[in-house]
Amino acid sequence: MANYVLVYKGGGAMAATDAEREQIMAQWGQWFGGLGQALVDGGNPFSGQSSSIGSDGSVKDGSSSGLTGYSILKADSLAAANTMAKGCPVLSSGGTIEVYETFQVM
């Protein structure tokens, strides 16, 4: 089994009311619960503040990727990780997910 990082893009708009926030959190909780032992790290949303560092060491405010958060899953294959990712609430709010396999180097 390998770990897979799910990187979210979009779909991270904050809810306007407490009831909406509770509903969104319940959706995430249900998805996380359904993942069981495959959930390595539920992750977190990104704050929106970011910077980009160039190969010359220059730093610019902001980034062009539009990433909004991440989670880490354990799966037998990329296809299995993709199947698990399809239930993620970020998709129902218009976002997309990129799935990357990680490998241990240290």
pLDDT given for residue 12 in this prediction: 64
Average pLDDT (54-64) is 93
Cα angle for residues 48, 7, 100 (degrees, 5° grid): 150
Q: Percent of the chain having pLDDT more than 70?
A: 98
For the domain covering 2-47+63-101, report its CATH number: 3.30.70.1060
Question: pLDDT tens digits, residue range 35-53?
Answer: 999 999 999 998 878 999 9
Q: Burial, 45: exposed, middle or buried (Cβ in 10 Å; 0-12, 13-18, 19+)?
A: middle
Domain positions in the chain are 2-47+63-101
Whole-model pTM over 0.85: yes
pLDDT given for residue 56 in this prediction: 97
